[in-house]
Structure 1
């Protein structure tokens, strides 16, 4: 039992599971030896101890796959370094498919594995049977084999990481409760423990399923909720061969881990059971939850179907233990937007063992460097909104999120639970028009519109889904006539004050010193030149600007603004997202449509591109901004919320003679990709510079005072031809559909991966976009002289590369 703790440390880690111990280990590897880890009970006593210990390498995307692969490599060498055995072995894994959609998914995974450099074999049912002789293959239609996947002992691996951390100078205190967080001037400055205070430069919440409540002590939102998680262990099975791979039957919601002549059978079932709604008992330590055979019975029956030997095999262990799950099934990592120097690594959705090595390394480098070491937006804590931390939301979503790990990961798949959180004031009107809603950052948004007699419901597939024809019609309407979309979910910020212009010019790569009523398209860069945000800035007055960004970035962008505001600057930053609805009218007939509702001069001369002004429209005064994200003439209308329904009705009535129709976000996506417009978080991230992304036109190197990231861009520019560039691709065949993470080949060698893809109805085939790398430089001459292919579901297709958009490359349509 600890009786004293140090009075200060550089980093204090709260939580002694595999994540906290990995972080401590990696911090010491970076030379940060003044590290203290505090565990309320005993190391691994929360959820780590009962983890299955699987260490697969292939995850949903390239970045997560590389981090998982690092975990495997780390665990493989830990015993040699520390003397503590981990039990790690590379036994490989076999994932089977029993329907064509699952087969399509694992084929896409196999293609992505090539980008990551993992051996991954696509095999048939008979080959699967050879790898797993007890397997029932009567309904198996294909499989993938990953020979480098592994498994490890969770407790031993954690102890090895802890020993490595101690060898590096870290101090670990068990049976030491942290009672509170010490803060000062918006920063975390230490912790209060039952044995005394510890002052610290950094505090890290690695408290596992306690992380949400612990975060609340500091006002930090960590959305996660515990759920019951089951596995069983069989009696010995004489027929079970030694050295078998881990087996996954995701269509049956089960995995099978060979374990000393027995099988551990784990389940990721739909309709999971949340746990701990009344709080987690203070005494919780290596605890099990009551068993529920009735809940697990359908999945045990599935297991007996898959492995008939189980019909005559008894169960030795029936285990139920809690694990924490997040609203989107992705873990939380990074510095909290609410409190500087307060970091989080929690909510690992039952993949903590495979994630711990990579996550610990990334967070250690983040703390050490002061920024994320690579694009981690998918798991960044800043993606979360306050509503996601509410108990009712988490309870409902957790019933779904546990099972998502093994559900088919269809493109455009939507959550079923905890819906309707944020609704535009136009929601009911859109619903009456046949909108099929998707959800983004809590917003219900119309993704596509059903036609008469068609249900506005998704029928998922990796091929052409049931809304493909709807998308084509909406797409054609915007290109040839006029369409209207509700974009009220835009993130909107007011930046005003005497120093607003100076402040924004430091933040923005482009020059915002423009006349009142002008719009500026720009990026916010970090010191390395990477793109932190992609926004428009509209000058409303000499001392007031409107900043507009994407729906997913609301917390992140606001955090970036506040953190970069100089101390003492006369600048007020206000989140205006909920104050204005946005009705966007786009297409060749948009000018005629809107002109019927206003006396304002909407001609090209009277209202040039990138202009914004308040106009009378119908019964309302709205801000009309002439801009486009679809490559057509059009305006975004920023409307005080209460006026939006009447304005929307008026626009529809005015456009009726031109064939106006509503369009959804899927159509916006297909339109923007034909035009080559980038999307932050997919096509551009904090790892990509404007020069690499083809956005150099939005950078003003000559403006007074410079901007964040200027020096990095100048250094890159001085090197001449770029070795990495963003390229658009057009498929020769109209059949394949690609989405993201597909390998890009140049003369037979992988040179990159796609960031986005969509069928372009104007062009009649699929467009893909992504970065390619070529040491000698990615030039037009090299592109023209090289044969490019993109691999979709293990088949390569010829594609045409281009540095320019395939649709209207000279921008004639948007400036007429």
Structure 2
């Protein structure tokens, strides 16, 4: 065995396909001081028994970008390393058995074209022609991706490992990490022990990468970081050889939870059943290496029965192998990638939800580039480890959620679909009051949030569809209440970060694009930028005192935003406190919002005393609160911040006072439709770290002349001089029937030019509304707007009106009246 080094620039923990990919890509960038430690043998955890399906199409543009990179990499890896990867571009077919699934896969096909993926919608006859063994009874449609493929998972990993070794990486097998040494927010070294216990040692290092797969949570705990994942049993069978069976495309029948792969004249049938079996609740045995789990034919039998009907030749084929092996799953079915928020040199690439082979190439490339540059190469918000909340590392929570997440891979991916398991964990102080009045809740970052309100006698649950769902008219009524009268809704889940200290103003002026040298009570809307002018956070910041500010962020990004702030504190004398759970927030919005506020408080809510963009301490009912005059729905209104002990009293006070005004309780689906009509941006969809703040139309929120430097200032000045390279446009379908969600392709003068970053229905504007970027380098705004635009909705091109200014209240007169 090669002598283990005593120092390294980076130590990668875990020798599955992901760890090998990270090592491969770091050495490709010129890193030579790379050490990979594997507790047993390379690929011996999950990689060795993976099915090896390699698909390009994922749910978002950047995830598709990474999957495409993987299949392109694997296609060339054998020539580079001499290791046979078994990679074949045999193509793939996904078939639908219902009209709802047909719409889903056709919408995916439209999205794929916008992402540059070669794809074709096919009818049942064409499905049969490409896969003659398939019983097409009940098949409504299919999609064909000719460049998808399959490969040998273990050999792909070994090829990546060989490529890394050829460029200087040291890969040590039979070397278990037993501990990590830490100093503050940094890991300083790795303790190891040989498999036989005869040797042990320590490697001092600059950073580590946790690629430990289903051991990732435990390795994370060693490093003081949260890596929420849980192993589940994953089943497949391999038939005996079938005479005259030739190479076939990969076939997915998600409505029957099954996938089929031809391999050496045999068929591999795998399943993602709706109710999965978590595994390893008491820990994974230390001896685990190329291990299988006990068979559970009763659990798999319903899948097999359906598969035999779908693929009749299976009835004649003997079963050669019944395989059950563990794979790790995350709470939201997205893998974990990036710099862990709790530490400054601990990186994570783990929890790949049974798509590790097709994801590993792209994930390794993206993480290596992030490590090299100290910044994300592009938006990775879908998989950024900082999206995970601390409570999601709870073992009981992971056990319950993992039962669902495995099956969700092949479930209908309906818009607005909510997780069903491990719910009710984070509740606002208004939760019970809303539930009593018909609230139907969704979940974001563990928070239960009222999304819509059921009427008397209506089933208070989601009935999912790609058409108008059962809550459509409920949300429309809530929308109209806010536009025409007054609505009340709960915003307590939004992140609240208090910045306290003598350097608070200077600190915020350094990390934020706005000018924070403002009077007490002033609210500043702005962005935190990276050095490229991309948007790291979209926030409102309220000055509470000379030394104190409140930063309000989206619920899902509170941890990421606070981590960004912590990492840029420098020598500023400030403290950052998460106060999200300390205050409840009720939004009072609509033309009659002032009238309601005046009924419950003696304070002055006129424009003279409390103009738009200011906050004041108020008496309300018999309690105290703070009223922020801001809006995310484009109407006159206030957000009422109240300590949790008085939250129920304030709700009762407002609700009772509003009864004869026609006050309507509203959900966050209403907020989404209203903000789309107003053209307000949504972080994570319309604005991300790779979207320049000027291109996003938010240059007004960045003050380059505020008298001090700030992160991204030079990039903003440069882009303001050259003009935007793309513009975020607002679209309204001229046909009022089709629905938009996001990722629908944009056509300009008949050519695909992009896709919608967000979409929904504009009940006031009378049609579906979307936001999306269109390239305009060197073009003026008039030329961009003068084009003819269409949106591809499930394969049908629908004409769209387009605007740079908000289609609803473009001068914002309603919010300031």
User: TM class, shorter-chain normalised?
Assistant: over 0.9
Equivalent in the alignment of 1:512: 516
Structure 1 unmatched runs, 5+: none
Residues 655-804 of structure 1: pairs in structure 2 closer than 5 A: 655-719=658-722, 721-777=723-779, 779-804=780-805
One of 568, 586, 590 as aligned partner of 1:583: 586
Q: Answer yes or no: is the 8 Å Cα contact 1:751–1:774 preserved in 2.
A: no
C-alpha distance in 1 between matches for 2:381 and 2:612: 32
Residues 348-363 of structure 1: pairs in structure 2 closer than 5 A: 348-363=352-367
Q: Answer yes or no: is the 8 Å Cα contact 1:181–1:188 preserved in 2.
A: yes
Equivalent in the alignment of 2:19: 20
Instruction: Give the TM-score normalised by the residue count of structure 1.
Output: 0.99
The yes-or-no answer on 1:305 pairing with 2:305 is no
Q: Per-residue displacement from partner, 1:81-129 (whole Å, max 9, x unpaired)?
A: 1111111010000100000110011001100110121111101000000
Shift of 1:60: 1.1
Shift of 1:772: 0.9
Q: Answer yes or no: is the 8 Å Cα contact 2:498–2:551 preserved in 1.
A: yes
One of 438, 443, 447 as aligned partner of 2:442: 438
Q: Per-residue displacement from partner, 1:635-659 (whole Å, max 9, x unpaired)?
A: 0000000111111111111111221
One of 536, 549, 553 as aligned partner of 2:553: 549
The yes-or-no answer on 1:40 pairing with 2:34 is no
The yes-or-no answer on 1:632 pairing with 2:631 is no
Shift of 1:710: 0.3
Residues 31-430 of structure 1: pairs in structure 2 closer than 5 A: 31-194=30-193, 195-238=200-243, 240=245, 242-430=246-434
C-alpha distance in 2 between matches for 1:774 and 1:298: 54
Shift of 1:714: 1.3
C-alpha distance in 2 between matches for 1:590 and 1:775: 43
Q: Answer yes or no: is the 8 Å Cα contact 2:512–2:526 preserved in 1.
A: yes
C-alpha distance in 2 between matches for 1:189 and 1:705: 36
Q: Per-residue displacement from partner, 1:137-181 (whole Å, max 9, x unpaired)?
A: 110010000000010001111110000000111010000111111
Shift of 1:755: 0.7
Shift of 1:349: 0.2
C-alpha distance in 1 between matches for 2:776 and 2:122: 32
Shift of 1:62: 1.2
State the SS of the aligned residue for 2:764: coil
State the SS of the aligned residue for 2:600: coil
C-alpha distance in 1 between matches for 2:88 and 2:783: 44
Shift of 1:797: 0.7
One of 475, 478, 494 as aligned partner of 1:471: 475
Q: Answer yes or no: is the 8 Å Cα contact 2:629–2:639 preserved in 1.
A: yes
State the SS of the aligned residue for 2:243: coil
Q: Answer yes or no: is the 8 Å Cα contact 2:335–2:351 preserved in 1.
A: yes
Instruction: Give the TM-score normalised by the residue count of structure 2.
Output: 0.98
C-alpha distance in 1 between matches for 2:766 and 2:721: 39
The yes-or-no answer on 1:807 pairing with 2:808 is yes
Q: Per-residue displacement from partner, 1:179-227 (whole Å, max 9, x unpaired)?
A: 1112223112221112311111110000000000111011100000000
Q: Per-residue displacement from partner, 1:617-645 (whole Å, max 9, x unpaired)?
A: 10111000000000000000000001111
Q: Answer yes or no: is the 8 Å Cα contact 1:189–1:203 preserved in 2.
A: no
Q: Per-residue displacement from partner, 1:754-781 (whole Å, max 9, x unpaired)?
A: 011111000110110011113433x321
Q: Per-residue displacement from partner, 1:273-292 (whole Å, max 9, x unpaired)?
A: 00000000000000000000
C-alpha distance in 2 between matches for 1:420 and 1:257: 39
C-alpha distance in 2 between matches for 1:27 and 1:319: 34
Residues 642-651 or 20-29, more deviating: 642-651
C-alpha distance in 2 between matches for 1:790 and 1:416: 32
C-alpha distance in 1 between matches for 2:224 and 2:743: 36
Q: Answer yes or no: is the 8 Å Cα contact 2:256–2:306 preserved in 1.
A: yes
State the SS of the aligned residue for 1:444: strand
Shift of 1:239: 5.2
Shift of 1:131: 0.5
Matched residues, number:
811
Cα 1:775–1:695 change in 2 (3 A) is closer
Q: Answer yes or no: is the 8 Å Cα contact 1:591–1:602 preserved in 2.
A: yes
Q: Answer yes or no: is the 8 Å Cα contact 2:776–2:784 preserved in 1.
A: no
State the SS of the aligned residue for 1:379: coil
Equivalent in the alignment of 1:645: 648
One of 483, 486, 489 as aligned partner of 1:485: 489
Structure 2 unmatched runs, 5+: 194-199
State the SS of the aligned residue for 2:382: helix
Shift of 1:784: 3.1
Q: CA RMSD in A?
A: 0.9
Equivalent in the alignment of 1:7: 6
Q: Answer yes or no: is the 8 Å Cα contact 1:783–1:801 preserved in 2.
A: no
